[in-house]
Amino acid sequence: MRPTGGHQMRTLAILLIVAAGAANPPSTEDALVADVATAKFVETTTPNAPKGSQNALIGVDPNTKGPTAYGKTPAGTGLPAHWHSYPEYTVILAGKGTLVLDGKKHDVSPGSYLVIPAKMVHEFTCAPGVDCLLLIRRGGPTDYNFVKP
């Protein structure tokens, strides 16, 4: 039996919710609950990320080595065109913005669910006014491959 859309969202939510800030982040196979209000955000080390961008590691899948994290992007900023070797799954928790997937623009807002296939060029811009808060799950280790303008 194939899972329904609601089942897939619940499954994704369970995988994405883990305790933030642990010395050794738990695997996403553990039953855990995370609260963004108590997440321990740090300045991101992502190349080309705008000043003020932060993330909070939630957990790492022990099989794929793909991390799950909260990410904050300052209002009016974003990340230029790039791609990853593994798929990315993101839920917009706060703020509004524009996601460009393979050249096509999409308006995103709280509740938007984004599936970005491996090696698909994409860029994200957080609209002015409110910082964007994202919940990001990667299908494998994080890498950034930036596209020259």
Confidence at residue 32, expressed as pLDDT on a 0 to 100 scale? 77
Q: What is the reported pLDDT for 26?
A: 56
pLDDT of residue 149: 80
> For the chain, which ranges sit under pLDDT 70?
1-29
Instruction: Determine contact, residues 49/35, Cβ cutoff 8 Å.
Output: no
Distance between CA 78 and CA 73 in Å, rounded?
Answer: 7
Print burial letters for 46-64: b (CB count within 10 Å at least 16), e (below 16). eeebbeebbbbbbbbbeee
Distance (Å, rounded) from C-alpha 1 to C-alpha 139?
Answer: 23
Reduced to 3 states, what is the DSSP secondary structure of residue 11?
helix
With 0-12 / 13-18 / 19 or more C-beta atoms within 10 angstroms meaning exposed / middle / buried, residue 115 is: exposed
Query: Which pair of tokens denotes residue 40?
Result: 């321990």
CATH number of the domain residue 23 falls in? 2.60.120.10
Taking only the tens place, the pLDDT of each residue in 54-95 is 999 999 999 999 999 999 999 999 999 999 999 999 999 999
Give the integer Cα–Cα distance in Å for 101 and 23.
35
In whole angstroms, how far apart are CA 69 and each of 5, 16, 59, 119?
22, 8, 7, 20
Domain total in the chain: 1
Q: What is the pLDDT of residue 31?
A: 79
User: Is residue 127 within 8 Å of residue 107, measured between CB atoms?
Assistant: no
Residue 78 belongs to what domain range? 5-146
